[in-house]
Amino acid sequence: MRRAICLLALLVGGCSVGKYEYSKEAEKRVDMTVTGIPTVLGVGTLGTTIPLTPDYSLTAAHVAKFSLYRVKSYHPECDLAVVYHKNGNVAPPHFRNGLIGDKINLYGYSFISAMPVASSGTNLVNTGLKNDWNKVSCVVVASDAGVVKGMSGGAVYNASDDSIGGVIVGYSNRINDLKSGKLLYKDVSLYVPYARFKAWLDEAVKS
């Protein structure tokens, strides 16, 4: 964890990093939500949510803030929120924190096509991330799995046992070592790992 505090992901513009593709499996695992103010064509910005219970879903805070869903709880440090959402009779998902080097699968919705998409990759490193939604104290995981705008709030699955290891919150074109300024990784997806939000989530979904 000491090394994680010395690294920083630098967020940039653009639409995506890495490779992703249309996925029927993503449609089964996550939901699409429209955020922001719709345009004259009736199209808004897209985000993704993860069904938790018949009444609640998990997503990124920056998605929840501008969605049509009522927010039940915001995480105090991480870019996460639990929202009210009728999910039917869904089975509670199984969460497990992954490890660096583990294979993962990402599921979400593309804001470009409004279609369910997926990507695969490997957990690379823990890193700091500071923006309007995430404090540096909420260390995130960088991976080489592809991601596109709209996938924020989507699910990161551990490939070995199909458990949920985290929530997608963005991407970056570079991760630097803060002390040396050296470029360590390029074009990475970023997600909040389960270990960072387990206690908060357990409390948030209590009736």
Inter-residue contact 67 to 38 (CB < 8 Å) = no
Chunked in runs of 10, what are the mean pLDDT values of the chain (207 residues)?
50 76 97 66 72 97 93 98 95 96 98 94 94 94 96 98 97 86 92 98 90
pLDDT of residue 198: 98
pLDDT of residue 11: 54
pLDDT of residue 207: 64
Q: In CATH, what number is assigned to the domain containing residue 135?
A: 2.40.10.120
pLDDT of residue 35: 67
Q: 14 is in which domain, residue-wise?
A: 2-36+45-204
Give pTM, 2 decimals: 0.90
pLDDT of residue 165: 98
Q: Looking at the 3D structure of the chain, how many domains does it have?
A: 1
pLDDT of residue 39: 42
